[in-house]
Amino acid sequence: MSSRLATLLGLSQGPEDQQHLQKAFEEGRKTPTRQTTNLKMSPSPIKYYYDLMSQPSRALFIIFRLSGMPFEDCVVALRNGEHLTDDFKRDINRFQRVPCINDNGNKLAESVAILRYLSAKGKIPEHLYPKYFVDQSRVDEFLEWHHISLRLTCAMYFRTVWLEPLLTGRTPTEAKIEMMRMHMERNLDVVEEVWLESSDFLTGSSLCVADIFAACEIEQTRMADYDVRIKYPKIRAWLKRVRQSCNPHYDVAHKFVYQISGTGPQAKL
Amino acid sequence: MSKSIKYYYDFLSQPSRALWIGMKLGKTPFEGCPVALRKREQLTDEYKKINRFQKVPAIVDGKFQLAESVAIVRYLSDKGQFSEQLYPKSLEGRARVDEFLEWQHLSIRLACGLFFRNAWLYPVNGIAPMPKIEQIQKMTKEVEANLGLLERLWLEKDFLIGDQLTVADLFGASEINQIKLCQYNVSEKKFPKVVKWLERVRESSNPYFDEAHNFVYQKSKQAVSAKV
């Protein structure tokens, strides 16, 4: 039994959804399923299980690449239900979601927990996730805040406008879309007015993991044809800065988002 | 000489309770500063200066202000002011607790929080009518899907993370107790492990657990007698 809310969030899909998703993907992309990236030789790199359609998967992908951390690429095709198999549940992640890691037999789920674990292991540079506890707590404050606010509402909007119609063949009512937009914009307002009130990035004057997690959530709404740049000048300028600071990895992580939405940043970096 | 931190909280808030119990158990020195949510004190300009997000819990440590319960646990722990048993310092121990703390937001907290809001907070305050039976059933189903995950995936041992109480248990139990207000009691038949675990968490953290939950216990009973 999977949680309906999880399903709503696009965190997991039932097997019946897979066919539709598969089809959508075949149409949306022409590149092969498995990419080989970052397979540097190292004694035993961390196994990273992810799908670039998942927001936190993208965030960690960008963070690992920026950190120069070698990892073994383990792509999990959510649209094929690869996370729903018994094998996946037993051997990879009992919660049947991505992202997750396996560090020499030590399995860990939850993107933020993974980030902290790898940071404590010295794999993430300090400028991305500070080690000094006072500075770290500022970043933590955002990471903890974002789950039930920005992440939830952007994901619901994406789900309502893009994923659900795809799965059910029914278009949502205007009223429902409007309500989802309202919930989401209430949180985008907080990003614009509070988090970005007086600084170039969410928790200070330079890029950190908070910016990457947030940007990946917001980018997801592109696929639902939402353009955050229209109403939010600070977010617009900030997103540009985040992308620039993270590229080329940002664009690699978002290639399916760009393809499916038929939008993408015009400028080549 | 450093002054103890100021802790802004309300016992109606689930994470406020969890953090309060954790600090009491671990003997964190703090000055309690209740913020009465029922009087909307969190929405005043004065409180906005303390927490720009106008929520509880929050702390002020000298000039340093911090919101978000989990971020606060981590800050206090790294400052050496939070019980190491409740929030481990070791790499793996901490990662396991973090895994739960990050997981709970969009699962157990979201499901219980929505149920509480729609079936108690809004109707009691006249913000929205009592939800229809079907809506209650839907919300209950969602809560139970998550209780099922606790039962089957998390509760392999006596506590969520191994054999000892950690903050993970306090956060989890506090969310589940919140829906007593909606007259929801976890069924021993459906979730035997969860029921036993809830009792274990309470015993391991009393008298603070009951002190923090008194308000919820009372209000839940009132709602029952009001119906009669």
More confident residue, B186 or A15: B186
pLDDT score of A10: 45
Per-residue pLDDT at A35 exceeds 90: no
A76-80, B80-84, B156-160, B209-213: which range is least confident on average?
Answer: A76-80
- Which helix (H) or strand (E) segment holds residue B6: the answer is strand B5-9
- How far apart CA A142 and CA A1 sit, in angstroms, is 31
Is the predicted pLDDT of residue B165 greater than 80, yes or no?
yes
Residues 6+ apart with CB under 8 A from A103: A46, A47, A117
CB contact under 8 A, B98 and A117: yes
CB contact under 8 A, B106 and A6: yes
Q: Where in chain B is the domain with CATH 3.40.30.10?
A: 5-78
Residues paired with A74 in a beta bridge: A49
- Smallest CA-to-CA distance from A97 within B144, B193, B170, B153 is with B153
Pick from B53, B101, B142: which is nearest to A4 by CB? B142
Task: Give the CA dihedral A54, A102, A60, A129, nearest 10 degrees.
Answer: 150
Q: What is the DSSP letter of A266?
A: S
Name the residue among B207, B209, B211 with its Cα closest to residue B197.
B209
Domain B5-78: which CATH class? alpha beta
Report the pLDDT value the prediction gives residue A263, as an integer from 0 to 100.
87
pLDDT of residue A264: 80
Say whether A137 and B66 touch across the interface (CB within 8 A).
yes
Kindly identify which residue of chain A lies nearest to residue B153, measuring between CA atoms: A94
Q: Of A31-45, A47-61, B76-90, which gets the smallest average pLDDT? A: A31-45
In the three-class reduction of DSSP (H, G, I as helix; E, B as strand; rest coil), residue A106 is classed as: strand
Q: Provide the residue ranges of all domains of chain A, joining segments of one domain with +.
A: 9-120, 133-250
- How far apart are the two ends of chain A, measured CA to CA in Å? 45
List pLDDT tens digits, range A95-150: 999 999 999 999 999 999 999 999 999 999 999 999 999 999 999 999 999 999 99
Residue percentage of chain A with pLDDT more than 70: 83
A231 interfacial to chain B (CB closer than 8 Å): no
Yes or no, beta carbons of B102 and A113 under 8 Å apart: yes
**CB of B92 closer than 8 Å to CB of A114:** no
User: pLDDT tens across B135-153, in order?
Assistant: 999 999 999 999 999 999 9
For the record, the structure tokens of A101 come out as 């890691």
Residue B228 has pLDDT above 90, yes or no: no
The strand pairing partners of A108, in sequence order, are A101
Q: Give how far Cα B24 sits from Cα of A44, B13, B29, B211, Å.
A: 43, 17, 8, 11
CATH for the stretch A9-120: 3.40.30.10
Q: How many residues make up chain B in this entry?
A: 228
Contacts of B107 in chain A (CB under 8 A): 3, 5-6
Element (H, E) at A25: helix A15-28
Q: Peptide bond preceding A43: is omega within 30 degrees of 0, i.e. cis?
A: no
The nearest alpha carbon in chain B to A136 belongs to B75
**What global pTM score does this model have?**
0.91
Residue B47 scores a pLDDT above 90 = yes
Structural contact between residues B97 and A139, judged by C-beta atoms closer than 8 angstroms: no
CB of A3 less than 8 A from some CB of B:
yes
Rounded average pLDDT over A35-53 = 74
B212, pLDDT greater than 60? yes
Q: A152 contacts in B (CB within 8 Å)?
A: 106, 110
Spatial distance between the Cα atoms of B153 and A93, rounded to a whole number of angstroms: 11
Pick the CATH number of A133-250 from 3.40.1130.10, 3.50.50.60, 1.20.210.10, 1.20.1050.10: 1.20.1050.10
ipTM: 0.95
Whole-angstrom distance, CA of residue A56 vs CA of residue A79: 16
CATH 1.20.1050.10 domain extents, chain B: 91-227
**What CATH topology corresponds to B91-227?**
Glutathione S-transferase Yfyf (Class Pi); Chain A, domain 2 (1.20.1050)
Task: Please give, rounded to a whole number of angstroms, the shortest distance from the CA of B152 to a CA of chain A.
Answer: 10
Q: How far is B75 from chain A (nearest CA, A)?
A: 6
Do A124 and A118 contact (CB within 8 A), yes or no?
A: yes
Phi, psi of A232 (to 5 degrees): -125, 90
